[in-house]
């Protein structure tokens, strides 16, 4: 699934954002507003990310 | 006379990971993944010799001409592992900073310190790992060898119907500018054993290039980059100031497929029409390799009991933010 960061993600400290999950690349891309593919979103990050699937793709 | 010795099979390899000041040993309480390592190389503190020029008229080299250069040393080790999810993702972590699925390599990828544009000694870095070789120390009491501040410079994934039962093999090379240390390392308080099943070529449900379905005998993909150390901080331990990446990530590989009608349909791309095509390798779930823009590099027929086609390729990004390779694995 494709996701992008909500504003709340950008305010998370490094021990709570994607750095804490061993993925600096996802963190860096989310911070620049990019859409990324995530196989399984960590439970603690779900409320800070939003789906970026187009309606056509998600059907 | 020393009586101790070192059986190769008695050595277990762990990867300590998690945010740490670059150059600092991961502690016993950090995350330690013990992967299914089949083969490995190890390193010990060493230094090459630079030789100053000879004085004219002398035909022997004087001791004063020899200069040890530990300040230039990059220690490299290679781990060969069964191709599990953890083996792939830990390799991607220290190679291009993507330690969770989908591991995605774009032209913007890097392994810099957190929120930084460099890899510097002491900087907080989530991508550098510590390699621990338990029982590899030559000393009777300093039993272990640890290598701190390691980054991967290449990883190769490969599958072959003719070897390892079709299992994927991951071969990853790590480098560090820090001297390997022999010590009695406090055992990791929790060893995370990798018990995952390796991916297998016989489980591939999709293997297409440019939309043509290939019957693969084997495939391999290598992601690599050059790293260099930055000088030395002192003449005690010769720790580097950090590292720089001196060139781009390169993604290359080879498909070996049955030479058939689908190969014929790839003729335009094989002949070199300068247009990128899509490479897709995937199991029905849990493993996908996606390269959206590959170009075939000098493909040739290959002789076997029946004809095969060897298809070397190189993967590119379509734009500065596009993916060169995406690895979805679970």
Domain of residue A9 covers: 2-54
What are the tens digits of pLDDT across the range B268-308?
999 999 899 999 999 999 999 999 999 999 999 999 899 99
Quick one: how many helices (H) and strands (E) in chain A?
3, 3
What residue in A sits closest to B129 (Cα-Cα)? A22
Query: Which residues in A lie closer than 8 A to residue B245 (C-beta atoms)?
Result: none
What does the DSSP 8-state code read for residue B280? E
DSSP B190: S
Q: What secondary structure does DSSP assign to B98-152, as a single string?
A: --SSSEEE-TT---PSTTSSSEETT-EESS-EEEEEET--SSSS--EEEEEEEEE
Q: Is B114 in Cβ contact with A19 (below 8 Å)?
A: yes
Chain-centre distance for alpha carbon B201: 21
The predicted model scores a pTM of: 0.95
| A22 vs B18, B321, B329: nearest CB | B18
**A39 found inside a domain:** yes
Nearest to B102 among A14, A20, A39 (CB): A39
Q: What is the pLDDT of residue B52?
A: 97
Asked if the Cβ–Cβ distance from A40 to B99 is below 8 Å, we say no
CA distance B181 to B44: 7
Report the distance separating Cα B226 and Cα B80, nearest Å. Answer: 20
Q: CB B97 to CB A24 under 8 A?
A: yes
Report the C-alpha gap between A2 and B86 in whole angstroms: 22
Does the beta-carbon distance from B328 to A18 stay under 8 Å?
Answer: no
**How many structural domains compose chain A?**
1
The tens digit of pLDDT for each residue in B73-85 reads: 999 999 999 999 9
The verdict on residue A44 lying in a domain is yes
Q: How close B75 gets to chain A, by Cα (Å)?
A: 24
Hey, of B92, B99, B192, B327, which one would you mutate to test binding to chain A, going by the most A CBs within 10 A of its CB?
A: B99
Are B45 and B176 contacting, i.e. CB atoms less than 8 angstroms apart? no
Q: CB contact, 8 Å: B325 with chain A?
A: no
Confidence of residue B190 (pLDDT cuts 50, 70, 90): confident
A47 to chain B, minimum CA–CA distance in Å?
A: 18
Cα dist from B213 to B228, B328, B329, whole Å:
41, 20, 21
Long-range pairs for B196-199: beta carbons < 8 A, 24 or more residues apart: B196/B84, B196/B85, B196/B86, B197/B84, B198/B36, B198/B82, B198/B83, B198/B84, B198/B167, B198/B168, B198/B169, B199/B83, B199/B84, B199/B159, B199/B167, B199/B168, B199/B283, B199/B286, B199/B287, B199/B329
The pLDDT assigned to A58 comes to 52
Judged by a CB distance cut-off of 8 A, whether residue B307 touches chain A is no
The pLDDT tens digits of the residues spanning B196-242 come to 999 999 999 999 999 999 999 999 999 999 999 999 999 999 999 99
Residues of A with CB under 8 A from a CB of B: 14-15, 18-26, 28-29, 34, 36-40
Instruction: Give the pLDDT confidence of A13-53 residue by residue, as tens digits.
Output: 999 999 999 999 999 999 999 999 999 999 999 999 999 99
Check CB contact under 8 Å for A29 and B108: yes
Q: Which chain A residues are closer than 8 Å to B330 by Cβ?
A: 39-40
With H, G, I as helix, E, B as strand and everything else as coil, classify residue A44. Answer: helix
Residue A59 lies in a domain: no
Which single residue is written with the structure tokens 């308080």? B189
Per-residue 3-state assignment (H helix, E strand, C coil) for B221-232: EEEECCEEECCC
Residues of chain B above pLDDT 90, percent: 94
């Amino acid at each position: 699934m494709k996701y992008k960061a909500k504003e709340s993600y950008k305010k998370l400290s490094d021990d709570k954002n994607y750095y804490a999950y061993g993925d600096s690349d996802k963190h860096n891309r989310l911070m620049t507003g990019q859409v990324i593919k995530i196989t399984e979103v960590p439970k603690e990050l779900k409320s800070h990310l939003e789906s970026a699937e187009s309606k056509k793709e998600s059907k | 006379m020393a009586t101790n010795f070192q059986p190769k099979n008695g050595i277990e390899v762990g990867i300590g990971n998690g945010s740490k000041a670059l150059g600092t040993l991961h502690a016993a309480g950090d995350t330690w993944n013990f992967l299914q390592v089949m083969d490995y190389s190890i390193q010990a503190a060493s230094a090459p010799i630079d030789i100053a020029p000879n004085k004219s008229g002398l035909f022997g080299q004087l001791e004063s001409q020899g200069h040890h250069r530990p300040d230039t040393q990059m220690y490299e080790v290679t781990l060969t592992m069964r191709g599990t999810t953890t083996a792939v993702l830990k390799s991607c972590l220290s190679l291009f900073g993507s330690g969770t699925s989908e591991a995605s390599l774009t032209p913007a990828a890097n392994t810099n310190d957190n929120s930084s544009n460099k890899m510097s000694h002491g900087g907080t870095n989530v991508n550098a790992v510590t390699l621990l070789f338990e029982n590899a120390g030559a000393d009777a009491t300093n039993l272990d060898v640890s290598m701190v501040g390691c980054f991967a410079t290449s990883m190769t994934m490969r599958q072959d119907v003719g070897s390892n039962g079709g299992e994927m093999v991951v071969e990853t090379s790590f480098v560090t500018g820090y001297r390997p240390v022999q010590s009695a390392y406090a055992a990791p308080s929790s060893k995370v054993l990798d018990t995952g099943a390796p991916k297998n070529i016989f489980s591939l449900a999709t293997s297409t290039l440019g939309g043509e379905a290939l019957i693969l005998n084997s495939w391999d993909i290598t992601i690599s980059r050059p790293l260099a150390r930055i000088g030395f901080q002192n003449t005690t331990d010769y720790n580097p100031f950090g590292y720089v990446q001196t060139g781009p990530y390169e993604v290359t590989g080879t498909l070996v497929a049955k030479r058939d009608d689908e190969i014929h349909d790839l003729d335009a791309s094989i002949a070199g029409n300068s247009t990128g095509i899509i490479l897709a390798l995937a199991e029905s779930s849990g493993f996908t390799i996606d390269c959206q823009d590959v170009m075939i590099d000098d493909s040739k027929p290959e002789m076997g009991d029946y004809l095969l086609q060897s298809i070397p390729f190189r993967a590119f990004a379509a734009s500065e933010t596009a993916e060169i390779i995406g690895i979805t694995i679970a």
